[in-house]
Homo-oligomer: A and B are copies of this chain.
Amino acid sequence: MLTDRQLLILQVIVDDFIRSAQPVGSRSLSKKDEISFSSATIRNEMADLEELGYIEKTHTSSGRVPSEKGYRYYVDHLLSPQALNKQDISIIQSIFAEKIFEFEKIIQKSARILSELTNYTSIVLGPAASFNKLKRIQIIPLNKETAVAIFVTDSGHVENRTFYLPPTVDASDLEKTVNILNERLTGVALEDLNDKIYKEVAMLLRQHIRNYDLMMHTIADSLKMPVNEKLFFGGKTNMLSQPEFHDISKIRTLLQMIDHEEWIYPLIKNDSAGINIKIGRENNNSAMENCSLITATYSVGAESLGTIAILGPTRMEYSRVISLLQFLSKDLTSVLTNLYQKY
């Protein structure tokens, strides 16, 4: 167990290193206001902290730098919650000046503003459309061979799929099909559509349509493609100005990862609701070695809808970022809740 003095020293080291990006030495520590004992004492304490794994040296005679364990302890126990200043608050609230149904724009603006406020990279996972409820299906034939199926949800989200028309299907078949689909599927969540089609619609189609199974498989097929939540980024290049990324090869791996959306999902998705902090190797991703990722979820009611995240160096301003994310996710949640309660 760490003594109070050790905690104080650890905290000051982390704070100082976050600010300066320079290893922290005993002499410079001893000069701080918070600290009333000599550099020699600090050296002794630092030796202990190092033995315990909370801090490390970059070389034998260098100052100390927090280890991942040190950051973890700092985040878990030493973080002094920091109130946002008024300017930050009003900047965040300016996000919601858009008309609320232009939700994509709100999300995009959130990403941009988060990255501008923090100078880190922001990642926002758009609201999952998969449990939006179906409002209407339309099928519009383009020519003899192809048609577009359009799915509109109660939230105004529109999905569309082009597909080959089975050659035996004629206009009246299509119309009947659409009617049946609308009758049976309105109000069903997108993610349940496929299920429902086989369970409830199949039989009806059989009664009314020749070659019903071809038609049905065609439609079911077009629904199989996952409704992907969109990712939005802000400040992709911000990491270039962080001193820990002066090395081209590190930048390259990191930017490469950021540009592969499919690698981002696992990083930010399987988190529980609320604020989550992953430090360095906790992200299980070699490109994230020197990075921390802080995520927050936004939701409507109890259902969490999407995620906002900040990707920065492990030497990140945790306190500030957490405050910003908390604030923004709260606002997003309330905007969304308002939006959805209308329906």
Contact = CB atoms under 8 A, between A and B. Distances in A.
Interface of A: 99, 101-102, 135-136, 138, 140, 142-143, 145-146, 148, 150, 152, 154-156, 158, 160, 162, 164, 236-237, 240-241, 246, 248, 251-252, 255-256, 259, 342-343
A115 B136 CA distance: 40
A173 to B, nearest CB: 18
B248 A143 contact: no
Given A102-B162, A240-B248, 13 more contacts: A101-B162, A135-B140, A142-B152, A143-B342, A143-B343, A148-B152, A148-B158, A158-B158, A237-B255, A237-B259, A240-B251, A240-B252, A246-B248
Contacts of A236: 255, 259
A129 to B, nearest CB: 13
Q: How many copies does the complex hold?
A: 2
Given A240-B251, A255-B237, A255-B255, A140 B152 contact: yes
A158 B154 contact: no
Contacts of A240: 248, 251-252, 255
Nearest to A257: B237
Contacts of A259: 236-237
A148 B236 CA distance: 33
12 contacts: A99-B164, A101-B162, A140-B152, A142-B154, A143-B343, A148-B152, A158-B158, A158-B160, A240-B248, A240-B251, A240-B252, A241-B252
Contacts of A102: 162
A145 B154 CA distance: 13
A133 to B, nearest CB: 11
A156 B161 CA distance: 9
A143 B340 CA distance: 11
